[in-house]
Structure 1
Amino acid sequence: MLLRKFNFELPSQNVHSLQRDLRYASSEGSKMTKISVIIPAYNAEDFIEECLQSVVQQNESDLQICIVDDGSTDATFDLLRHWASADQRIELASHTSPKGAAAARNRGIEMAQGDYIAFLDADDLWLPEKLSMQLIHMDEAESAFSCTAYELCDAKGMRIGRRQVPKEVDFSRLLNNNTIGTSTVMLRRAFLSKHRFPDLALRQDFALWLQLLSGAATCSGLNTTLTRYRRHGASLSANKLKAAKATWQVYKSLPSLSRRRALQSYANYLVRTTYKAFSSHFY
């Protein structure tokens, strides 16, 4: 399969300096931090190879790449087996029938052995510096949970927008506006603990982030574009009506959230999404 190539704009930070800092830390006698990358895949033959290429070309090479094929009916699993035979860091699991993104990610979590876990969807891409820069950011911020800014692109890889992230996200802020892109998330495995993605068809990631931040914890934002998030007709979030219904299910599922606050948060969500749709149509 012919791989499409994308031209990434390198972040403004001094990448070479960051890499030098990583090599220095490693030379001081501590083993390089191992990251478990979790990729759920379902009928992703058009995008999975580009996704994996962006992972294996990361500057941070000490990786465990956990891929869960969720019962694909196209060539996805055959492509994954080829990649797994060529790179010993790739560990492949599969479901005999589709169980959904939550189940696939949760199985990947069970496979994970790294100190950190990073999530990536099969149709998304990382810049080469993504993991190394995020590790440094988490260390400097003393954070166990982080996300980054990301770029939006269409099915052909054409840029259609960018999403920024605030410096810090707590439960209240996340409740009003989910700025955490799943393919940008990296967290310490110990922080994740026994938390798992709930069994929801959509927005299971949003529900998990709310669980993780329901106490005093926060998510640290690195406002540098290190991920490319692809929007296309087959993506789960493409259907706005389904997404709206799923968001309400998330609010209703939170035991600590009163019905009044759930309604207020949902109203804010509807206003924001309507405004975005209106703006994109006229501008």
Structure 2
Amino acid sequence: MKASVIMSTYNAEAWLEKVLIGFSVQTEKDFEIIIADDGSRPATKELLDKLRKEISIPIVHVWHEDNGFQKSQILNKAIVASNSDYLIFTDGDCIPRRDFVEVHLNYREEGCFLSGGYFKLPMDISELISKEDIQEQRCFDLNWLKLHGLKDSCKNNKFTATGKMAVFLNWITPTKATWNGHNASGWKKDLVAINGFNQEMQYGGQDRELGERLFNYGLKSKQIRYSAICVHLDHKRGYVNEETWKKNYAIRENTRKNKVVRTPIGIDSNI
């Protein structure tokens, strides 16, 4: 199997179904999907059981009981459960364009991780997108999106840039090539070497902190912001709080200052 796609989710069945439909129509078929479920209600499992009958891509459901925002821990459990040496990370609210997996595999390189982004959609378009819109890739058609209310923006060129133009935009973008949990990939052995995600961290910067430790480990990053495209479905963020942000920022500061490579509480606490 060429890759394992690991995606996080929590009680968001409508969005998760759209994302899985997106992965069911990929140009590359040789991969598995690992659902990193941070304590969802039974409806998520019921959805996955239904979709397994409709989608040919293997779906593995990794779940633990709800204990607040524990995304880092469930992602580490998903890494342990993965069956490939190359891991692609995204979220259960990001619909991938049909070449998403293919692009990650084409750009993969020893000694590197890949950094992608997303295009954030407003709520009305997020709700509007149907199964057929995903299968026919209309949700990546700029004209279709504008017809349904998408405003003009310089960011819209993510939908139109292809080939050499996408490569050029990857090169000139001022956005740093960081580890972004909604669109990033790397070798499993490198993630295991740094002990995965820091489970002391809740919402706010835990993805970036993992990337900073990969840099400390000696890896470089490659920008694929305009090549690996996904659209982000809108939602509320009730788990954000200032205290957690401050705690996570202090951990990141320590990681950078002391060149931390291996987190003390990570993958190995789930084996």
**TM-score interval, normalised by the smaller of the two chains:** 0.5 to 0.7
Secondary structure at 2:216's aligned position in 1? Answer: coil
Q: Which amino acid aligns with 1:201?
A: Q
Quote the Cα distance in structure 1 between the aligned partners of 2:238 and 2:28.
28
Which residue number in structure 2 is paired with residue 90 of structure 1?
59
2:223 aligns with one of 221, 237, 246: 221
Which residue number in structure 1 is paired with residue 100 of structure 2?
130
Provide TM-score, normalisation by structure 2: 0.68
Which residue number in structure 1 is paired with residue 41 of structure 2?
73
Quote the Cα distance in structure 2 between the aligned partners of 1:115 and 1:81.
26
Quote the Cα distance in structure 1 between the aligned partners of 2:15 and 2:210.
26
Number of residue-to-residue matches in the alignment: 217
Shift of 1:217: 1.6
Label 1:145 to 1:255 Cα distance change in 2 as closer, same or farther (>3 A).
closer
Which residue number in structure 2 is paired with residue 230 of structure 1?
233
Shift of 1:105: 0.8
Asked if structure 1 preserves the Cα contact closer than 8 Å seen for 2:111 and 2:219, the reply is no
Quote the Cα distance in structure 2 between the aligned partners of 1:168 and 1:230.
27
Secondary structure at 1:233's aligned position in 2? Answer: coil
Quote the Cα distance in structure 1 between the aligned partners of 2:115 and 2:75.
17
Quote the Cα distance in structure 2 between the aligned partners of 1:155 and 1:181.
22
Q: Which amino acid aligns with 1:187?
A: G
1:1-283 equivalence runs, <5 A: 34-73=2-41, 75-86=43-54, 87=56, 89-98=58-67, 100-138=70-108, 144-156=112-124, 157=126, 162=155, 167=171, 179-194=178-193, 195-199=195-199, 200-202=201-203, 203-224=205-226, 226-234=229-237, 239=240, 241=242, 244-245=245-246, 247-254=248-255, 256-257=257-258
In the TM superposition, what whole-angstrom CA distance separates every residue of 1:77-134 from its partner, at most 9, and x where no partner exists?
A: 2112222344461112221334611111111100111121001111111111111122
Secondary structure at 1:223's aligned position in 2? Answer: coil
User: Quick one: higher RCO (CA 8 Å, sep 6+), 1 or 2?
Assistant: 2
Shift of 1:36: 0.3
Which residue number in structure 1 is paired with residue 165 of structure 2?
none
Label 1:180 to 1:209 Cα distance change in 2 as closer, same or farther (>3 A).
closer
Label 1:78 to 1:231 Cα distance change in 2 as closer, same or farther (>3 A).
same
Shift of 1:71: 1.7
Asked if structure 2 preserves the Cα contact closer than 8 Å seen for 1:67 and 1:91, the reply is yes
Q: Which amino acid aligns with 2:224?
A: L
Q: Which sections of structure 1, spanning at least 5 residues, go unmatched?
A: 1-32, 259-283
Asked if structure 2 preserves the Cα contact closer than 8 Å seen for 1:65 and 1:89, the reply is yes
Q: Which amino acid aligns with 1:155?
A: M
Quote the Cα distance in structure 1 between the aligned partners of 2:74 and 2:107.
28
Q: Which amino acid aligns with 1:182?
A: G
Provide TM-score, normalisation by structure 1: 0.65
Label 1:168 to 1:255 Cα distance change in 2 as closer, same or farther (>3 A).
same
Q: Which amino acid aligns with 1:184?
A: N
In the TM superposition, what whole-angstrom CA distance separates every residue of 1:174-220 from its partner, at most 9, and x where no partner exists?
A: 9xx67543121011222223331111112211111111111432110
Quote the Cα distance in structure 1 between the aligned partners of 2:98 and 2:238.
24
Asked if structure 1 preserves the Cα contact closer than 8 Å seen for 2:7 and 2:35, the reply is yes
CA RMSD between the two structures: 3.3
Q: Which sections of structure 2, spanning at least 5 residues, go unmatched?
A: 127-144, 159-168, 260-271
Identity %: 21
